[in-house]
Structure 1
C-alpha cells in the first residue's frame, strides 16, 4: 500500500481507502462493519470516510463502535456536513449547522476530532465568507485537522481559497469528487489549475460507477445487486447516461484486458484510478469482507499497467476530456 500526501498537506492517506456510503446501516450491521474495516486496515488502509447524512447518522454510530479497536493515531477519519435533518437549520453550510453538525458527528463517532471534514455540497444560500470562517473555527478549535469540499466546482473552490486569504483563514486542503473511467471531466480537466495553484488534494468516490465497472451489469441488472436494491440510484444513472449500452460494451472490452492481467474488472478500474498522481486516495466500498480483499489487490494490478496498456484502455474508453 502506498501512502500519498493529501495534496500539499503533510498528512498521508492510503492510496485505497474505505467508505461507508450505502453499506453501513443499510447492508452492514456492527459486526460486519468491524469485520470489513478490520480487513481493510490489515491491508494497509488508514483512511475511513463517513458523513452525517449516511443512513441518517447510523453509519457514523456504527463506525464509532468499530473504531474502539484501533489506536487513534493510526487512523485518518473523515465526515461530511450538509444534510443533518429536516429542520430549516439542519442542513446547508451556515455557521450554525456546520458547528452543530460537527458536534453531533463527533458524538456519533465517539471521537474528540476527525482528521478531515468536508462541506458535502456547495450552499448557494450561505455566503462563502460565513462558511470559510466557520470551517476556520472548526480547525483552530481542534474539532478537525483539515477541511475540504465535496462535489464543488472549480469556481466555487477558487472562491473559498480567495475568501480564506482575504479573511486570514485556513484554506481548504482537499476536494471529494466523483471519479471513475466514465466520469472524468472535473478531475482531469476542470480541477487541473487547482493542483498547481493551491496543491489541492483529492479523495475520490464512486470508483466503480456504482458497480458498472465490476462487469456484473454486462447482462442486465441482477436481483441481488445494488442497483436492484436502490432503484432511485439506477434511475439516476440511466438519466446521466452511465448505464448505457455503449458503456456496457466498453466494460466488456475492458474485461478482456483485466483477464489478461489476471485481474477482475473491478481491480482494473481501481488500479487505473491509482495511476493518476493527482488522486490522493480512492474511496472503496464493500458489503462483504471478500469484496474488501478483492479491492485491495488493485494495488498489485497498478504495477502491471504499462504505458501501452493504459493507451489500450484509453482507446476503448474514448472519453478523455479535451
Structure 2
C-alpha cells in the first residue's frame, strides 16, 4: 500500500489512521489483536490512540494504550509502525491539563503502557486554555530532546491558541506542531473549513480528521431513532437526523450505488479527496468495517460525485 509523508517530518504513513478508541471498550484484548493484525496484514501502519481511551469505561482510561502495547510487544513490529497518542484529555478524575508537570508525567505513563521507548506523534488532545503555550511547548521540547517523542501535533486547540503556539515556537526555537486532528467529516464542515483551514495552509499542517464517519451516521445505518440500538455508539448520531442529514445520506446512497461500494467508503473517500487531508481516523470492530477503510483509499470519486456531495453537505 502506498504511503505519504507527514509534513515537516520523516514519518511515512498509509492513508488510513486506525482509531484505537474501541480497544478496551467495544473490543476486548483478543478481538483488538485480531483487528490490529488484519490492519497490518492489509498494509496499514498508522495507529491513533490517547492516554485516556476509553475513559468512559473506567473513568481514567489507559486500556487502549495497554492493549496496543501488549500487541506491539507480542508481534515485535514497533519499527514498522507510526504510533500516535495524546495528552491533556479530560476524564472523570481530572480536567484537561497541558501543564509541564502533567505532560512529563503522562508521557512516561504512555510509554510504559505502549511498551515502547518513543512516541512518533504526540498530540495536545484538549487545551486547558490556561497553561501558557510557552510552558507546554517547552515541555514538548524537553521530551523530544530526551528521545521520548519524535513530533508533536494538536487536536482540540482553538485557532487563537494554535496561532499563539506557532508564534511562541518561532520566537523561542521550540518544536512546532506538524499536524492537526480536527473534528471534520462530510456533515461537520463549517468549523474546520472556516476557522482551521487557513491555519493548515499557513503552517503547512497534515490533517487527520477524527469522527470521520460522524459517529457512524455516514455509514447509513442510522436513519431513525429506532436504529440507534444497532450499536452502543448509535445515540451519537441523533443530532444528524434532520433535513441536511437525510440529504447527505441520500447523496451517499446514490454515489455508493454508482461505484458499487458502501456509504462509509464514499464518505471516507470524500475526505481523502479534500486538500491537506493525510489520513482520516476511523475505528473498526470487525473485518468488514476494516475492509471498508481500505476500499476508501482506492475509491476515485469523479467531479460529478464530489459536486453532489459538496452541494448536499453545505
TM-score (norm 2): 0.91
Alignment of 1:196-211 (within 5 A): 196-211=201-216
Counterpart Cα distance in 2 of 1:201 and 1:253: 28
Which residue does 1:14 correspond to in 2?
A: 14
Counterpart Cα distance in 1 of 2:270 and 2:159: 23
Which residue does 1:31 correspond to in 2?
A: 30
Aligned residues: 306
**How big is the shift at 1:222?**
3.8
Please tell me whether the aligned partners of residues 83 and 91 of structure 1 are also in contact (alpha carbons under 8 angstroms): yes
1:227 and 1:29, CA in 2 relative to 1: closer, same or farther beyond 3 A?
Answer: closer
Please tell me whether the aligned partners of residues 106 and 113 of structure 1 are also in contact (alpha carbons under 8 angstroms): yes
Which residue does 2:146 correspond to in 1?
A: 141
Secondary structure of the 2:168 match is helix
Which residue does 2:306 correspond to in 1?
A: 310
Which residue does 2:57 correspond to in 1?
A: none
Which residue does 1:293 correspond to in 2?
A: 291
Which residue does 1:116 correspond to in 2?
A: 121
Counterpart Cα distance in 1 of 2:208 and 2:128: 20
**How big is the shift at 1:196?**
3.4
- Confirm or deny that 1:79 pairs with 2:57: no
User: Which of 59, 65, 87 pairs up with 2:64?
Assistant: 59
Counterpart Cα distance in 1 of 2:111 and 2:40: 21
- Confirm or deny that 1:107 pairs with 2:103: no
Secondary structure of the 1:281 match is coil
Counterpart Cα distance in 2 of 1:315 and 1:196: 23
**How big is the shift at 1:91?**
4.4
Counterpart Cα distance in 1 of 2:159 and 2:2: 27
Which residue does 1:45 correspond to in 2?
A: 44
Counterpart Cα distance in 2 of 1:84 and 1:152: 14
Counterpart Cα distance in 2 of 1:92 and 1:171: 19
Which residue does 2:279 correspond to in 1?
A: 281
Which residue does 1:173 correspond to in 2?
A: 178
Secondary structure of the 1:291 match is helix
Moved more, 251-260 or 194-203: 194-203
Which residue does 2:156 correspond to in 1?
A: 151
Structure 2 unaligned residues grouped into runs of 5+: 55-60
User: Which of 182, 194, 215 pairs up with 2:187?
Assistant: 182
**How big is the shift at 1:154?**
2.3
Please tell me whether the aligned partners of residues 53 and 65 of structure 2 are also in contact (alpha carbons under 8 angstroms): yes
Counterpart Cα distance in 2 of 1:218 and 1:101: 40
Structure 1 unaligned residues grouped into runs of 5+: none
Cα deviation digits, residues 249-302 of structure 1 (max 9, x gap): 42023212111111100000011111123011111101112211122111121x
Counterpart Cα distance in 1 of 2:183 and 2:192: 8
Which residue does 2:200 correspond to in 1?
A: 195
1:141 and 1:313, CA in 2 relative to 1: closer, same or farther beyond 3 A?
Answer: same
**How big is the shift at 1:134?**
0.6
Which residue does 1:267 correspond to in 2?
A: 265
Secondary structure of the 1:38 match is helix
**How big is the shift at 1:5?**
2.0
Secondary structure of the 2:17 match is strand
Counterpart Cα distance in 1 of 2:90 and 2:255: 43
Counterpart Cα distance in 1 of 2:298 and 2:118: 33
Which residue does 2:248 correspond to in 1?
A: 250
Moved more, 255-264 or 179-188: 179-188
Deviation beyond 6 Å, 4+ runs, structure 1: none
Please tell me whether the aligned partners of residues 30 and 65 of structure 1 are also in contact (alpha carbons under 8 angstroms): no
1:252 and 1:226, CA in 2 relative to 1: closer, same or farther beyond 3 A?
Answer: farther
